[in-house]
Amino acid sequence: MKQIVVLSGKGGTGKTTIAAALAHLASREMSIVLADADVDAANLELVLAPEVQESQDFVGGQVAVINPQTCIACGVCAEVCRFGAVVREENGYRVDRIPCEGCAACFYQCPANAISMENSVDGRWFQSRTRFGLLFHAHLIAARENSGKLVSLVKQRARLAALEDHSDLLIVDGPPGIGCPVIAAATGADLALLITEPTISGAHDLARILALTEHFRIQALVCINKADINPRRAKEVAHFCTERGVPLAGCLPYDMVVTEAMVHGVPVSEYTDGPVTQELIRIWQQVKDHVLVRSAETLSNGYIP
Ligand code: SF4
Ligand code: SF4
């Protein structure tokens, strides 16, 4: 089973559009499992119409809770809390769960044993059936942290299911940026497809995400989305890729049909056979060539990674 991850240095570059199209195109040839690792804004479900089979709470950590019946309002907890999470109120003290880091300093210092540490349900994860294969996805509750931990959980579940079903490919739609959730999404990937746009910030973000994949020794391919909105910048990005020795998998044109497909809730490659889909097919061939064909050749040559 091979694993690919779709990443971009920032949000809004068309990452999910491309991941959904790859899911559609790949599933025509092989068995796949999908993971939406963008738990802060899970969008893959908007185009895959998932039917939820299982859903469970995600416990990200702990929060302190003050029992007002036992609290003697001494204020020690407010003094020891480095995160300003203890709030003074008219009748005593209360913990604001958003800034509470669950460090338990207040729990150990409270002279009245009025504080308990309780599990914090920070989101929910799902196993769903789609017409392309199983999808693992999650929703993080707004303003809750630990998205890296939730991404790891979603990916681990997806990976286990893929191994259990002897699936050929796991496709991970990663979160934007280069932070902890991105590292969690990229870990263990055989290939990262990096999506960028022909803008100054696009080139800058591509360099950052490429530094990340290079650091973790994940082979990368680049796709320039909306390449024709600024051909000069697109050429610069292509030149940058050549200089860094990273293959350019393809250049997608700007086309309103992509939005139309989103509105209809289907991957663009399923919605139209037009130029965008033709280029997506080419990109999928490149991905397949790099992640499946070449690795099989490497193994047949006797090299053990
Ligand atoms: S330390 Fe304990 S007793 Fe004192 S204010 Fe906080 S919760 Fe109440
Ligand atoms: S657990 Fe830590 S962060 Fe939360 S209220 Fe207590 S001292 Fe503050």
Q: Is the pTM value of this prediction over 0.75? A: yes
Structure tokens at 65: 């809770």
Q: How would you write the pLDDT of the chain (305 residues) with one tens digit per residue?
A: 999 999 998 888 899 999 999 999 999 999 999 999 988 877 888 899 999 999 999 998 899 999 999 999 999 999 999 999 999 998 899 999 989 999 999 999 999 999 999 999 989 999 999 999 999 999 988 777 667 889 999 999 999 999 999 999 999 999 988 888 899 999 999 999 999 999 888 888 999 999 999 999 999 999 999 999 999 999 999 999 999 999 999 999 999 999 999 999 999 999 999 999 999 999 999 999 998 776 555 544 433 33
Distance 68 CA to ligand 1 centre (A): 9
- HSE (side-chain half, CA atoms, 13 Å) at 158: 35
Q: Are 36 and 138 in contact (CB under 8 A)?
A: yes
Handedness of CA 100, 106, 112, 113 (dihedral sign): positive
Distance 100 CA to ligand 2 centre (A): 5
Distance 173 CA to ligand 1 centre (A): 45
Among 66, 67, 86, residue to substitute to test ligand 2 (most atoms within 8 Å of Cβ):
86
Distance between CA atoms of residues 219 and 189, nearest Å:
9
| Cβ–ligand 2 contact at 98 (below 6 Å) | no
Nearest-atom number in ligand 1 for the CA of 86 is: 6
Distance between CA atoms of residues 276 and 268, nearest Å:
8
Report the first-to-last Cα separation within the chain, whole angstroms: 15
Other CB atoms closer than 10 Å to residue 187's CB: what's the count? Answer: 15
The single-letter code of the amino acid at 231 is: P
- The residues facing 251 across adjacent strands are 224
Distance 74 CA to ligand 1 centre (A): 5
